[in-house]
Amino acid sequence: MSQTLERLGLIREIMAEQGLDAYVMATFDEYLSEYVPERNQRLHWLTGFTGSAGAAVVLADKASMFVDGRYTVQVRQQVDGDAFEYRHQIEEPFGEWLTQQLAAGAKVGIDSRMFSFASFNRLRDTLDKAGIELVAQSQHPVDQLWHDRPAETINKGITMPLEYTGLSSVEKRQQIAAKLQQDKLDAALLFAADSVAWLLNVRGRDIPSMPVILGYALIDANAQVTWFTNAEKLPDGFYEHVGDGVTVLSEADATTVFATLKDKKVLADPATANAWTQLSLQQAGAELIAGQDPVLIPKACKNTTEQEGMRQAHIRDGVAEVKFLHWLDNALHAGEDLNEADVADKLFSFREQQDKFKEVSFDTISAAGSNAAMCHYNHNNGTPAQLPKQGVYLVDSGGQYLDGTTDITRTIAIGDPDGEVKQQFTRVLKGHIALQNARFPKGTTGTQLDVLARQFLWQHGFDFDHGTGHGVGAYLSVHEGPQRISKASSTVALQPGMVLSNEPGYYKADAYGIRCENLIMVREAEGLAGDVTMLEFEVLTLAPFDKRLLDTSLMTSDEIAWLNAYHQQVYDTLAERLNDDERHWLAQATSAV
């Protein structure tokens, strides 16, 4: 019997003791962060799956693993097919699947800490229609079985000075409190760890790649904040840094504080806060007002200090990227035998040399050949593949710097890739350029712009199964909401200061993958003849696209002009920061098409 089957058996024993006919668990932990500490990787413990989004549904006689299009290949490599059936979460949501598997009167267990209130309510509504009860719990069955579970790590956080934040914590708290007063609310639940980090101007080391201290907070209309976290992690000088009006309590004290909010109007974001906190507030007698986390938009719209920090971080990151691309070209030309891990480690070494660098902003996706067809591939999950002698290599990486967060993908030619690869790369790049050059009126959402990046693939019957752009924080989450560019419906208008990725791609299963990604920042467009306020994108990322992958016969003169101008900007900005060999390489890499 495999380890997975054995552990499934133990889960089913607990289900039977609790009178449950099914149990649902997801990749998220109690903080709903994309990045989960090792001690909270419960789904990985059960299934072996390492992706950032997925769910397992366990029944008495079967189990299914649900993932989206990013992980359809990966899930088959990591999850035991004898223990789990594989299902596409978008095409067949697990709630609908459960209604087809269970009879009326059945009970489905869920740890309400591990799901947003919105997803909890959707699942409950779906099951209710079939007469199935959703049982909210506050203990996960894996916690009873994981006997060698890693201990919690205690790392002290750091305070962020005004030179990076632009506003003091007091000013930020007053800004949020004023909005609560305006909306006649008594308090707001701030559940996202990066919302609290931004509000208090602190960063932490609780989880890899995302510099936060785990916990959540309440802010009231008088700008008083109660932060539920482990006080051992507070930065030195924390209370002097934040000023009066901040109380720190343990998470165990939350229900006691919630009891003081009886009959108070409490804003809580069903999409970002977990179900347990909001169910607990309801039980305490608070009047829950569903609405967006009030920190999200102020955090997303970087102030002038944060904007300049992002620009400077991208310059240093561009230096690291160019040094890496120069090294890789030379190594490949010399016939060195390289694997995905070797190359990722070398890229890290160049970033590590840069001023203000703290850590990577996510696990580097270093994908050779057919591995690049898995858009969230991780070479650390198995034996890193060797780089091919012919084809493409895709590297998606980023850095966390004290003044900004970066995320860049480059697809690199090895040998002389065939015409099909060049055509698809060019179509992807054309979509990237079309989005970069977009001008749009205030009030436009990312959903309305998404087609710009896909149009040249669509014309030939191709597409990519991920969003075109995600928001990015300022020395915070590399995947920041609520701004995004995606097919998925969004009501969030793009506003000046928002940073997003521009990353169309194409992935041919078992063959190759292509992605062209820069970070872009929304700004007002100037010098236009019209009378409508228009917005546009400023490019932040500075690194050449691989001209060896171009089929210029597919490009217009305007697209070629944009590429040449961008490459000139890359050279002019970075050249003086490179040595002679690197500068010579960059001159060739950015020479006009």
How far, in Å, CA of 160 to CA of 378, rounded? 32
* CB count in 10 Å sphere of residue 552: 13
Tell the CATH superfamily of the 158-299 domain.
Creatinase/prolidase N-terminal domain (3.40.350.10)
DSSP letter for each residue of 97-128 = HHHHHS-TT-EEEEETTSSBHHHHHHHHHHHH
**Worst-scoring range by mean pLDDT, 57-71, 206-220, 309-323?**
57-71
Q: How confident is the model at residue 51 (pLDDT cuts 50, 70, 90)?
A: confident
Summarised one tens digit per residue, pLDDT across range 413-433 is 999 999 999 999 999 999 999
Q: Considering the chain, what is the average pLDDT of its residues?
A: 96
Q: In whole angstroms, how far apart are CA 457 and each of 37, 72, 79?
A: 38, 21, 32
Q: Whole-prediction pTM value?
A: 0.92
User: For residue 1, what pLDDT band results from cuts at 50, 70 and 90?
Assistant: low
Return the biggest CA–CA distance within the chain: 73
- The continuous run of DSSP H or E covering 320 comes out as helix 304-333
Percent of the chain at pLDDT > 70 equals 100
Domain coordinates of the chain in residue numbers? 3-145, 158-299, 301-562
Same fold, 3-145 and 158-299: yes
Reported as a single tens digit per residue, the pLDDT across 287-337 is: 999 999 999 999 999 999 999 999 999 999 999 999 999 999 999 999 999
SS3 161: coil
In the three-class reduction of DSSP (H, G, I as helix; E, B as strand; rest coil), residue 266 is classed as strand
pLDDT exceeding 90 applies to what percent of the chain? 91
Q: List residues bridging with 445 in a β-sheet.
A: 493
Q: Which residues contact 134 (CB under 8 A, 6 or more apart)?
A: 108, 110, 120, 123, 124, 127, 128
Q: Give the containing element (helix H, strand E) for 316.
A: helix 304-333
- Report pLDDT digits (tens) over 447-483: 999 999 999 999 999 999 999 999 999 999 999 999 9
Q: 301-562: which CATH topology?
A: Creatine Amidinohydrolase (3.90.230)
More confident residue, 578 or 51: 578
Q: Which CATH architecture has domain 3-145?
A: 3-Layer(aba) Sandwich (3.40)
Amino acid found at 21: D
In sequence order, the 6+-apart residues with CB closer than 8 A to the CB of 39 are: 149, 150, 151, 152
| The predicted structure's pLDDT at residue 74 | 85
Distance CA 39, CA 29 (A): 10
Identify whether the C-beta of residue 136 lies closer than 8 Å to the C-beta of residue 50.
no
